Amino acid sequence: MGTDDLFKKRREERKQRRHEYRRPRANSYLIVTEGKRTEPLYFNGIKRKIQETIGGRIDVVDMPLIQIEGEGASTGRLIEIADELVKKASILYQNVWIVFDKDDFSDFDQAIAEGQKKGYHAAWSNQSFEYWLYLHFDYSDSALHRDVWNEKLDAIFKEYGIGDGRYRKNYENIYALVNTYGSTEAAIQNAKRRMAGFRETECRPSAYDPGTMVYQLVDELLKMLEG
């Protein structure tokens, strides 16, 4: 074996040992989102709130680690990207969440099942993440196209003068904005009310319209602020 080949072999062996010896990181989250704008901006808002609230507390042993990746990929590809991120990470994430919408993707149910088999949590929305945002302000169980949810948010932003008076996907402070005249707590309760009738063994997520499991991730993250 040549010197170069021996060097490459040893380097790969070192990489493998580092991977094998990684330890789970307490309070760690990897959040991989289908969207590159609204979803990561929303979760970064929660991340900032957690850091601001917990950062100065002396009783916190393990500061939460929240890694958010907005990928702009289709549902099936999103699972592959999550696999790559998990594999390359220097730690073992305690919680891996995939955030995606149904939109018009035919592999929606398949992606949820595939992610669950890998131990990932699916924070899905049918039809779109905008339904979850709407629940901050009001309850609805109407099956509407994602464009209509955008229109409804647009009307709310105009009525209350939120942002520049229009709903946009690129508000850096979208989490704070939807908590101005609405609230995350209301969204969680509204989502729980809507999802109370959902049984995954009896109904495919793609058929449960509207629906959202985003509340599970948000509720889990906000529990860090308690105590």
Domain interval for residue 88: 3-225
Q: Give the whole-angstrom CA distance, residue 190 versus residue 210.
A: 12
E strand or H helix at 44: helix 38-54
CB 146 within 8 A of CB 130: yes
**In this model, does residue 67 exceed pLDDT 50?**
yes
pLDDT of residue 53: 86
Handedness of CA 188, 190, 195, 197 (dihedral sign): positive
Q: Give the whole-angstrom CA distance, residue 111 versus residue 105.
A: 10
Q: Give the whole-angstrom CA distance, residue 158 versus residue 164.
A: 8
Q: Which amino acid is at 10?
A: R
**How far from the centroid of its chain's Cα atoms is residue 22's Cα?**
24
Kindly report the length of the chain: 227
Q: Which amino acid is at 111?
A: A
**In this model, does residue 62 exceed pLDDT 70?**
no
Q: What is the mean pLDDT of residues 72-90?
A: 89
Can you read off the two tokens belonging to residue 198?
């959902």
Look up the pTM and report it. Answer: 0.87
**In this model, does residue 13 exceed pLDDT 60?**
no
Range name among 12-21, 86-95, 161-170, 181-190 with the lowest pLDDT average: 12-21
Helix, strand or coil for residue 141? coil
Q: Give the whole-angstrom CA distance, residue 64 versus residue 47.
A: 9
Handedness of CA 99, 104, 107, 109 (dihedral sign): positive
pLDDT of residue 72: 78
The DSSP output letter for 61 is: S
pLDDT of residue 64: 84
Count of domains forming the chain: 1
Helix, strand or coil for residue 26? strand
**In this model, does residue 141 exceed pLDDT 60?**
yes
Q: Give the whole-angstrom CA distance, residue 59 versus residue 64.
A: 13
Picking from 20, 203, 37, 49, the residue whose alpha carbon sits closest to that of residue 126 is 203
pLDDT of residue 59: 53
**Segment 25-46, tens digit of pLDDT:** 788 999 999 988 999 999 999 9
Helix, strand or coil for residue 126? strand
pLDDT of residue 17: 46
